[in-house]
Amino acid sequence: MSYSIDSDRLMADLRALAEFGKRPPGVHRPAFSAEDIAARKWLMTKLKEAGLTPEMDRLGTVIGRHPGAKRAILVGSHTDTVPNGGWLDGAMGVIYALEIARTIMENEPDGEIGVDVIDFQDEEGSFLSVLGSKVFVGSASLEDALDQTNHEGVKLAEILPTLDLPDGDIRLDRDRHVAFLETHIEQGPRLLSAGVPIGVVPSIAGIRRYEISTEGRPDHAGTTPVPVRRDAGMAVMCVATAIDAAFRQAASDGSTGPGAGDAVWNAGAITFRPGAYNVVPEAADLLFEIRAPDAETIAAMDSVIRKTAEREARARDVELTITDKANVAPTAMDDGAQQALRDGAGDLQMKYMDLTSGAGHDAMVMADHVPTGLMFVPSINGRSHCLDEDTDEADIIAGCKAMFQAVRRLRSSLS
Residue 87 within binding range of a copy of itself, rule CB under 8 A: no
Angle formed by the axes of helices 7-17 and 34-49, nearest 10°: 150
Query: What is the C-alpha to C-alpha distance for residues 82 and 98, in angstroms, rounded to an integer?
Result: 22
Selected range binding a copy of itself among 27-35, 274-282, 301-309, 340-348, rule: CB under 8 A: 274-282
Which residues, 6 or more positions from 150, have their beta carbon under 8 angstroms from its beta carbon? 126, 127, 156, 159
Smallest separation, CB 398 to a copy of itself (Å): 20
- Nearer Cβ to a copy of itself, position 223 or 349? 223
Among 47, 95, 234, 403, binds a copy of itself (CB under 8 A): 234
Among 142, 287, 350, 414, binds a copy of itself (CB under 8 A): 287
Residue 354 pairs with which residues in a beta bridge? 200
DSSP secondary structure string, 77-126? EE----TTB-SSTTHHHHHHHHHHHHHHHHH---SSEEEEEEEES-TB-S
Contact 105, 213 (CB under 8 A): no
Query: What is the C-alpha to C-alpha distance for residues 183 and 239, in angstroms, rounded to an integer?
Result: 38
Residue 84 within binding range of a copy of itself, rule CB under 8 A: no
Say whether 318 sits in a helix, a strand or coil.
coil
Residue 329 within binding range of a copy of itself, rule CB under 8 A: no
Residue 350 within binding range of a copy of itself, rule CB under 8 A: no
- Nearer Cβ to a copy of itself, position 30 or 218? 218
Smallest separation, CB 280 to a copy of itself (Å): 6
Selected range binding a copy of itself among 29-37, 58-66, 150-158, 381-389, rule: CB under 8 A: 381-389
Binding mask 43-72 for a copy of itself (x = CB under 8 A): ------------------------------
Residue 328 within binding range of a copy of itself, rule CB under 8 A: no
330 preceded by a cis bond (ω within 30 of 0): no
Which residues, 6 or more positions from 32, have their beta carbon under 8 angstroms from its beta carbon? 60, 80, 121, 122, 126, 127, 156, 159, 160, 163
Residue 364 within binding range of a copy of itself, rule CB under 8 A: no
- Nearer Cβ to a copy of itself, position 249 or 413? 249
Contact 27, 86 (CB under 8 A): yes
Residue 267 within binding range of a copy of itself, rule CB under 8 A: yes
Residue 399 within binding range of a copy of itself, rule CB under 8 A: no
Contact 403, 375 (CB under 8 A): yes
Residue 162 DSSP code? G
- Nearer Cβ to a copy of itself, position 56 or 92? 92
Binding mask 185-224 for a copy of itself (x = CB under 8 A): -xxxxx--x-----------x-x-x--------xxxxxxx
Binding site for a copy of itself (CB under 8 A): 186-190, 193, 205, 207, 209, 218-228, 231, 233-234, 237-238, 240-241, 244, 247-248, 251, 262, 264-272, 275-281, 287-289, 291, 325-326, 357-360, 382, 384-386
